[in-house]
Structure 1
Amino acid sequence: MEEIQPINLMEKFSLFEKLWTPHVIGELNGQYVKLCKLKDEFVWHSHENEDELFLVLKGTLYIEFRNGKKIAVNEGEIIIIPKGVEHKPYTNGDIVFNLLFEPKETEHTGAIKTEKTVEKLDWI
């Protein structure tokens, strides 16, 4: 059996600078546990087959929906975006530290491909 060790999230966040790029830190029941740093705006996208959970560890994340609704997700809060719901995450210009739980097959930006789309995830 592989040695079981705690994962220090802030230590892992210190290992990368690239924004909107998830890094895998663990695997749990067919899902990846991912960390990413967020700043400014991301892209409109949805995930047709998976719900998406955002856990904000530092800062405030905003989520905009196509109906015009905007939600603030504060430090220490989570939000779950149901599958198929189009959304656009963004920040107020500060860097937000975020943790995601997603099935391993979840595509970064769903069916939308942009310059921000990450095809291959790195483990840290």
Structure 2
Amino acid sequence: MDKINVNEKFELFSETWTPKIIAESNGQLVKIAKGVGELLWHKHENEDELFLVFKGQLTLQLRTGNIVLNPGEMFVVPKGTDHCPLATPDTHFMMVEPSSTAHTGEFKNEVTIEFEEQEWI
């Protein structure tokens, strides 16, 4: 077992909105991603999704209002909640979610990453 340096892992990729798996614990995947601009409105019917920001600013747009996350802040989007991530340029964040969680929920577009396409780094 080796420790994981999250900052070093962020240096390994430049793509945005393409989560990379860095660990697994009790069926939960620990993923990191970079974001810029808006992803798309979606929801996960059966899974909560935890977001933790390392760099930049991530706004989780919800139908009930926006949650603005700065470095060191986190929020859990409850299952079944419509949300649309919006990131300032060069935002780095982590997600913790069950391995069953689809990238963009039931919605798919050109940025959607299928489960078998998810990359471990």
Partner of 2:86: 90
After the TM superposition, which parts of structure 1 deviate over 2 Å for at least 4 consecutive aligned residues? none
Partner of 1:75: 71
**2:23 paired residue among 15, 26, 40:** 26
AA in 1 matched with 2:98: P
Aligned-pair RMSD on alpha carbons? Answer: 0.8
Identity %: 47
Residues 1-124 of structure 1: pairs in structure 2 closer than 5 A: 4-67=1-64, 69-92=65-88, 94-119=89-114, 120-124=117-121
Q: TM-score, normalised by structure 2?
A: 0.95
Q: TM-score, normalised by structure 1?
A: 0.93
AA in 2 matched with 1:47: H
CA-CA distance at 1:66 after TM superposition: 2.1
Which blocks of at least 5 consecutive residues in structure 1 are unaligned?
none
CA-CA distance at 1:89 after TM superposition: 0.6
CA-CA distance at 1:26 after TM superposition: 0.7
SS of aligned partner of 2:37: coil
Which blocks of at least 5 consecutive residues in structure 2 are unaligned?
none
Task: Give the aligned length.
Answer: 119
Structure with higher strand content: 2
Computing the radius of gyration over CA atoms, which structure comes out larger, 1 or 2?
A: 1
